[in-house]
Each structure stands twice: as C-alpha cells, then as structure tokens.
Amino acid sequence: MAGTKTLLVLENFIGGRFLPCNSYIDSYDPSTGEVYSRVPDSGKEEVEAAVEAARAAFPGWSARSPQERAQVLHRLADLLEQSLEELAQAESKDQGKTITLARTVDIPRSVQNFRFFASSILHHTSECTQMDHMGCLHYTVRAPVGIAGLISPWNLPLYLLTWKIAPAIAAGNTVIAKPSELTSVTAWMMCKLLEKAGVPPGVVNIVFGTGPRVGEALVSHPEVPLISFTGSQPTAERITQLSAPHCKRLSLELGGKNPAIIFEDANLEECVPTTGEICLCTSRIFVQKSIYSEFLKRFLEATRLWKVGIPSDPSASMGALISKAHLEKVRSYIKKARAEGAQILCGEGVDKLSLPPRNQGGYFMLPTVITDIKDESCCMKEEIFGPVTCVVPFDSEEEVIKRANSVKYGLAATVWSSNVGRVHRVAKKLQSGLVWTNCWLIRELNLPFGGMKSSGVGREGAKDSYEFFTEVKTITIKH
C-alpha cells in the first residue's frame, strides 16, 4: 500500500497561483484500486475567488489582438508537446487508459487543440451588407462574452479540457474550468506551464472538485454567462435548471448509443478490425443477415486478440475502467442481458482475465460481446460506456435505419458499405450529429462536432466554437 507521504496532492490554480484547499477527495489509481492522489474538494468560496480573478483579467486579455492571443496559445502548445511523455504517463495512470493511447491520441490532440484554435482565430470574417436605396451600411462585429465556465469529463481528460479552453481564450474570454474529480492530474500539470507560455494570471483558472459542490457553484454564478459541458444527461438537466434564471448560453455534449451498420457489401477486411477498436464507442452493431455469421466469427476472433492489461504495458490494447462504481455499473448491464436470455459470447463471465498480483484490485474488464438481444433491452437503449457491444442481424435498409434511430441518443453512427448511393442515403436518414462511413473517428476540426436528440445542445468546431464563445452585434450606419 502506498504510504501517505507518496500521495500526490493537487492544488487549485486561481489568479495565476496554486492555492491549497481546506478539504480533499481521494483519487484512485484505476489499475490497482489504491488511493494515489488527493484532489481539492472545492466549493463556493473557491469559485468566488476564481470569478474575481477571471473578472480582473478580462479587460486586459480581451483587449489583446487575436494575433497576440494566438502567440500565447502556440507557446502553450509547444510547452505541452515538450512534456508529452510526462503528460501521457500521468494521463494513463490517472485515467486507466493505455500508455499507447495517451501517447498517440490524448496528449497530441491536446497540443493540436491549442495550435488549431490559435490558427483559426485569425481567419474569421464578419458580415457586411449595403442598402444603397436607404443610404445604409450594415455590418457585424464579434466580441468575447466574458467568463466561460468549462466542465470536462473523465474519458478524455486533457483532450476535452483543452478543446474547451483553447477556443474560449483564443476568442478573448477568461475561463474557470472544472475537470472531473476522477481525472484531475493532467489539468493540474498544465497549470504549471501557463505562466511560462505567457498566459496572464486569471485568464485560465482551474478549480477542482465534485459536480454538486464546484459544478453547481460555477453554473449558478450570475457572472458566468457561458457554460460548456461534456458529460452525462442527468448532469446536463441539472445545469439547465440552475442556469435558467440567468439565461446562460449552454453548449452540452452528452452521451450516445452509437450504432454501426454493416451492409452485406461491406469490406470486412477493413470493417472488422476498425469495429473491434471501437468496442468502447459503438455499443450496437447491426449486421445484414447474409453476412451475420461470417462477421460475428471474425469479430469475435478480433475481440479475443485484444489484450487487457495494465495501462503502462505498451502491448496492452485496453487498460482499466475509471472507477469501482463504474465497473459495477457496466457489469450490471451484462447481468441484465444474461437474465433476459441474451448470449454472452466472450468477455465478462466467459473468459478469464489474467493480471499481475498488485493489479488484482484494479478495475479491469474484458471486451464483451452480446448477441440474441432484443432492441427493447436496456443494453440496446442505454449508454453503458464500457467495453460491451451488442451484435444483432437485420434484413433491409429501411428496417435498420428505423432500429438505429429508435433510441433517445443521436451522437455518432458508422455505416459500412461499398455502395456509394446507399452510403449517402443512409447517412442522411440517420439521426446522428456525426456519421462516419467506411471509417471511424477521423476528425476534421473545422467542422461541427455534437449530437442530436438527448446527445446534446449546440456544436463545437472552428466556426461553431467561435460563435459560441463570442457575442455578435449588428451595426447600421447611415451615410
């Protein structure tokens, strides 16, 4: 067991300084189940201090030119890149994801977020129209809104935190961010680089803690007009209620129950490995009947090749789940599926997971494939957010579109087919904010990201984020 002396103790970052907190929350190492760091359990007082710092920093920061702000973002990106290995190791340990994933996806994308918005902020143009018969000229100007409240989740800690901070400060706002209390370490490490990058005190404030204490204080604060949140639907409902009296602007990026649709003319050579990799993201796989058994055979082979191991093992394809409570939740869905008469073909309760002795208490789970399950099952309707996927057959295009759209979520979908006409037709009819065809998770940051239905409100991307983080004004001049 780790002694108290070796615990990592985080501090809030307010007004350019690290400040201790009166009370702390234990944070666990998902690969061992042991406490390894302490996170500030902040509340109203800390949020108030952060609002003061952000308010004081706003006039100076918003008065800088976009070029000057972009330089600061570029410097921060460079510093993050120089610390890539250190950040990747910290992210992997704190979140439970593999070191390979943190090294190749999370941290590089965090660096890219700052570079991308440092560049895109320089290329927005405003509108102008003439009304010659009235002797008038109309044009628009955009200005930063003020203090932005940013709340990010535990699945992509630094990746999604920077995806919010970068556009907010590029546009001239100051921010108060609250990372998930389960994954706060890389946000705290980033704070150490802010001064060196030239970010003035108070422009970026990070207050650690739980949703009910910090989140609620931030969301209900009258001086925080903007809230950007990524997380669960129940939390989003609470945010909406608390912010309603203040008419706040909200961007809510919520859950999904993402379908993959595999038609009989799909290229299985490409489709099976890719669909295997997205076990974490695609929880409903619809396969056309004529290729169902062939796909299932190949898919199971690919899934069994996945190595679940300790996050620091470079050969592991999957690490640990985030927490004991989350592991229990994911397991409960598999129990429900079994009780409903579904078949569990591999993974939890079927195959044996071998782990080193010190990781026996970690939150590990094998990728699990379920078949013979009804569309009405909770496993087909609710977001599980774990390595569990249901594979079901379908007959026709029309039928599968209806079934894919039959859930309350609409974040992303994938379609596999070599028929170009069908790909366009199906993509158009799916109720999803994003549809990938014959590929997965290839992101063009210029274009909108976000979901339909219960998957959220608003979009994020070059233009969308800029519009969200600025206020537009129309000016008319009679000449």
Catalytic center residues? 253
Alpha helix ranges (H) inside 357-419 = 378-381, 397-404
Burial 312-331 (b: 16+ CB within 10 A, else e): ebeebbbbbbbbeebbeebb
Closest alpha carbon to 159 in 186, 133, 132: 186
Phi, psi (rounded to 5 degrees) for 12: -65, 155
Burial 437-446 (b: 16+ CB within 10 A, else e): beebeeeebe
Tokens 């404030």 correspond to: 205
Q: What angle do CA 176, 94, 75 make, to 5 degrees?
A: 50
**Spatial contact of 386 and 334, defined as CB atoms under 8 Å apart:** no
Tokens 């991307």 correspond to: 461
- Residue type at 391? V
Residues 6+ apart with CB under 8 A from 126: 139, 140, 141, 142
The DSSP symbol for 199 reads P
Q: Three-state DSSP class for 405?
A: coil
Phi, psi (rounded to 5 degrees) for 392: -135, 150
How many whole angstroms separate alpha carbon 335 and alpha carbon 323?
A: 19
